[in-house]
Amino acid sequence: MKRKRTWTFWLIPLLVIALLLTPWIWWEAKPATTLQVAILDKTVPDTTYREHKGLVWLLNQQKYVKADQQPYDYTKDYYGFFPKPDHQYETTGLPADLTGTDMIYVTDTYGIERAQYNKDNSTTGDLSAGMLYGGLTVPDVQRIRSAVTSGGVKTLIAEFNSLATPTQPGTRKEFYPLIGAEWTGWTGRYFSDLTRGGEVPAFLSGDGSDPNRWPYTGPGVVFVHEDGRVVVLEQGKQIGEEGVQTILTTQGKARLGLDSTIRYNYWFDVMKPAEGTEVLANYNLGLTEDGKHKLQAAGISYEFPAVIRQQHDTYVSYYFAGDYADYDHYSFWRKYQGWETFKRWLTFDRPNSEDAFYWHIYVPLMKSILQETAAASSK
């Protein structure tokens, strides 16, 4: 009887340990998939590397490795701006020869402001303070075009901000046909609090000397045009209580196998898809009549694309109209089979959180694209 009790005592802990270890063993035993991804990120003001960290986490969690069979390292496996101690830095452009590359992902080309890199946040977002480095360039576009039209690169992905300021209009026009979309000149962001002195950049709300210039408080969306025009929509007055909603289209639901409607709480751009593209998701603001009137007066659509896909002769392109790969967490659980699904179950859609969008929309979307690219590259 005593022996039976001892065995029962140890059985439950052993089962729990086995349950916890099984996904890790499964991940370790799973063969890696070779997929060479060229990441372009010009917006790395510090060593958080957050503009492409969310992408690299997923590459490693899904066990994609580089051509040399090594896992991806977010501190060095990209092209663009590399911060160094004492405000020093290095830059590395896309190579002229991208032979062997399966995917190009342009995560952010906004760049680095001088004041931002020198830790003067009072002028962050104000281009009059001067750019240290940034913007998509003509050589960037030429190298990307050559790589995707040659038949080597199977997938091109770009996201906000790859086209807006400080990228020059001529460079944008060269890039538009490669992604099947054009920028309207409008950029927007959801703010949990529009009060001056908070998250809203100083160049928008002014120095406070004119209280009538920025009378806004509470949550809302700010649209900024490259010519300086600003449109503010307050939550509960011009937009619905759910803020900016990402809604999958019929095509998006079919490709992702999901039917999710999730808040998007960060920067986005208003894009115009080209003829022959697929829109996989749209942004919807739940506009009131007053909100519709303000957008109509500014020439902004009531609903505009979040994810655009276009099938080209030699490759497929995607444009994400938001800062999707921007994710600051990089947990150990990347070496855990099914962790991304588990995390999606436990991450709820909260008003001021960016986590839900990452786990409910970005991760399933990128898993699908990575599988699509790996299959095309193996042919």
* pLDDT above 70 for 14: no
pLDDT for residue 23 is more than 70: no
Question: Which of the four pLDDT bands, split at 50, 70 and 90, describes residue 308?
Answer: very high
Give the confidence band of 170 by pLDDT, cuts at 50, 70, 90: very high
Q: What distances in angstroms separate CA 66 from CA 32, 37, 70, 242, 373, one per listed residue?
A: 10, 7, 6, 40, 14
Q: Which domain holds residue 237?
A: 27-377
Query: Average pLDDT in the 352-360 region?
Result: 88
Per-residue model confidence (pLDDT) at position 123: 47
Q: Given pLDDT bands bounded at 50, 70 and 90, which one contains residue 346?
A: confident
pLDDT for 211 equals 67
Which of 234, 111, 100 is CA-nearest to residue 164? 111
Whether residue 206 is contained in a domain is answered as yes
The helix/strand/coil state of 102 is coil
Q: Residues 142-152: what's their mean pLDDT?
A: 95
Q: Is residue 21 part of a domain?
A: no
Whether pLDDT at 329 is above 80: no
How far is 268 from 322, CA to CA, in rounded Å? 4
- Average pLDDT score over residue span 69-88: 94
Closest listed residue to residue 68, CA positions, set 105, 106, 100, 21: 100
Do the domain assignments include residue 7?
no
Is residue 80 predicted with pLDDT exceeding 80? yes
Mean pLDDT across 256-281: 92
Stronger pLDDT, 2 or 226, i.e. the higher one: 226
Torsion of CA 283, 288, 292, 295, to 10 degrees: -60
Mean pLDDT of 2-12: 61
Structure-model confidence comparison of residues 6 and 318, the more confident one: 318
The position carrying tokens 């992905």 is: 157
Instruction: Count structural domains, the chain.
Output: 1
pLDDT at 157: 98
What average pLDDT does the segment 9-13 reach? 66
pLDDT greater at residue 290 or residue 196: 290
Predicted pLDDT of residue 250: 94
Q: What is the pLDDT of residues 92-144, one digit of tens each?
A: 999 999 999 999 999 999 999 988 787 655 445 555 458 899 999 999 999 99
Give the residue, 201 or 94, on which the prediction is more confident.
94
Greater pLDDT, 259 or 2: 259
How many CB atoms are closer than 10 A to CB 125? Answer: 16
Task: Answer whether residue 250 is part of any domain.
Answer: yes
- Helix, strand or coil, per DSSP, at residue 111: coil
Res 108: pLDDT: 96
C-alpha 158/C-alpha 62 separation (Å) is: 21
Rounded mean pLDDT of 4-23? 62
DSSP string computed for 322-361: B-TT------GGGGSTTHHHHHHHH----TT-SHHHIIII
CA distances from 261 to 10, 181, 320, 335 (A): 45, 23, 16, 28
Is 4 domain-assigned?
A: no
Rg of the chain, C-alpha, whole Å: 22
What token pair was written down for 7? Answer: 């065995």
Give the residue, 354 or 371, on which the prediction is more confident.
371
**pLDDT value, residue 270:** 97
> In the predicted model, what is the mean pLDDT of the chain?
88
Please give the single-letter amino acid code of residue 113: E
Q: What are phi and psi of 295, to 5 degrees?
A: -70, -40
The pLDDT confidence band at residue 16, using thresholds 50, 70 and 90, is low
> Looking at residue 292, what is its pLDDT?
96
Residue of 146 and 327 predicted with greater confidence = 146
Among 7-16, 184-193, 269-278, the range scoring the smallest mean pLDDT is 7-16
Q: Which is more confidently placed, 97 or 327?
A: 97
Asked if residue 249 is part of any domain, the answer here is yes
DSSP state of 362: I
How far apart CA 140 and CA 325 sit, in angstroms, is 20
For residue 334, the model assigns a pLDDT of 65
Q: Which of 368, 131, 355 is nearest to 248 (CA)?
A: 368
Structural domain includes residue 12: no
Q: How confident is the model at residue 379 (pLDDT cuts 50, 70, 90)?
A: confident
208 has pLDDT over 50:
yes
